[in-house]
Amino acid sequence: MLKPAVTECNPTALRTDTTASNGPSPLSKHAPGMGVRLRATPDDRPPVQQLLLDHGRMQRFRSCISAPIIDLSALRHLAWSGVPGDLRPLVWKLLCDYVPASEERRKSVLAEKRRQYSSFVDQYFHLREQPSCKFMFHQIQKDLTRMTLLYRRPDLLAMFERILFIWSMRHPGSGYVQGINDLLTPFFVVFLAEYTRVGMCILCLFTSGFRLMYF
C-alpha cells in the first residue's frame, strides 16, 4: 500500500528575515501612520529632502481643510500616512465625525456638542456612588491610578473620571472595560494641543519618552 507523501515544512526556510532585507517591506509604504517616529532624539533631524516633502504635505492638508466644504475622502487619503501636529486636532474631529465638513456649520455644532456634554455631566455623574454604578466607577479609578501623571494634576484626574464614567453610562452595552482610559489619552492630548502647547508636553510625559511626530 502506498503511503501518502509527507512534506516537512521548514519554518526557518519559510520565515522572512526582515532584519536581513535591504529595505522596508513592500507593504510598509502602504501602512497607516507611516509618519510615526518613535524615540526621536534632537540629533535625529530629517534631511533637507524630507523637510521639503513634509512642507508639501502640510500645504496639501491646508488646501484640503480650507475649503468651505471639506472633501472627507481626500482628507482621509491624506491622513493615511499621518497628520501634521498643528493640524491634527481639526483633522481628527473631522474624520471622527465630531464636527461637520461644512465650515459654516462647524462652530454651532461644536457649541451644541459642548452643551450636550455639560448636560450629561449633570444627568449622570452624581450616580457614580450609587450601588449599581459604584463598581464601574471604582474600576475607572483603579485604571487611572496607573496614570501617575494624573495624580500630579487633580483637575486632570477629575476630568478623566467624568469623561470615562459618562461614556460608560452612555454605552451600557459594553460599560467600562479595563484599558479604555488608554484609548482616551491620545484624544485628550491632541485636543488639548489645539489650545496650548502644554498638550504636547503632556504627550511626552504620558508616553514615557516616546516622541510622536505624526499619528
Q: What is the DSSP string of 23-47?
A: S--TTGGGSTTTT---S--TT-PPP
Spatial CA neighbour of 190 closest among 114, 101, 59, 90: 90
Segment 72-85 mean pLDDT: 92
Tell me which amino acid residue 22 is.
N
Indicate if the alpha-carbon torsion angle 210, 37, 47, 60 is positive or negative. Answer: negative
Report residue 90's pLDDT band, with 50, 70 and 90 as the boundaries.
very high
Phi, psi (degrees; rounded to nearest 5) at 41: -110, 165
What's the predicted TM-score (pTM) here?
Answer: 0.68
Q: Could you count the other beta carbons within 10 Å of the beta carbon of residue 34?
A: 14
**How far, in Å, CA of 3 to CA of 209, rounded?**
59
Segment 31-39 mean pLDDT: 46
